[in-house]
């Protein structure tokens, strides 16, 4: 992928409820953006070795989908891990 917008459009094309291949009920473009941003941040932390940016490939899209589906629980669990990694409480 050339840029973030192209990746966001790619994710949206799979999961939107209008014509997505695998629609996720209630998904919004804001959710795709937030989950993508979180995923990109996670890719930079050595504490998350399973998350490596693959230039916007299928695995990247599926990781973003998982973040969306697991919602706040996913974010909270990772936030705690990030804080521990950074030496925070």
Cα–Cα separations (whole angstroms), residue 7 to 19, 34, 61, 70, 85: 17, 13, 8, 20, 28
Where in the chain are the domains?
A: 4-86
pLDDT at 3 over 80: yes
Q: Token pair of 65, please?
A: 């989908």
State pTM to two decimals.
0.78
38-82 pLDDT, tens digit per residue, is 999 999 988 888 899 999 999 999 999 999 998 765 555 555 454
At residue 6 the predicted structure's pLDDT band, cuts being 50, 70 and 90, is very high
Q: What is the pLDDT of residue 47?
A: 85
């Amino acid at each position: 992928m050339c840029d973030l917008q192209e990746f966001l459009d790619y994710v949206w094309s799979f999961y939107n409820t209008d014509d997505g291949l695998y629609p996720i009920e209630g998904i919004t473009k804001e959710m795709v953006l937030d989950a993508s941003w979180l995923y990109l941040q996670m890719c930079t932390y050595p504490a998350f070795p399973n998350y490596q940016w693959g230039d916007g490939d299928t695995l990247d899209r599926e990781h973003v989908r998982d973040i969306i589906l697991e919602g706040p629980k996913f974010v909270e669990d990772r936030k705690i891990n990030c804080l521990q990694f950074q030496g925070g409480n």
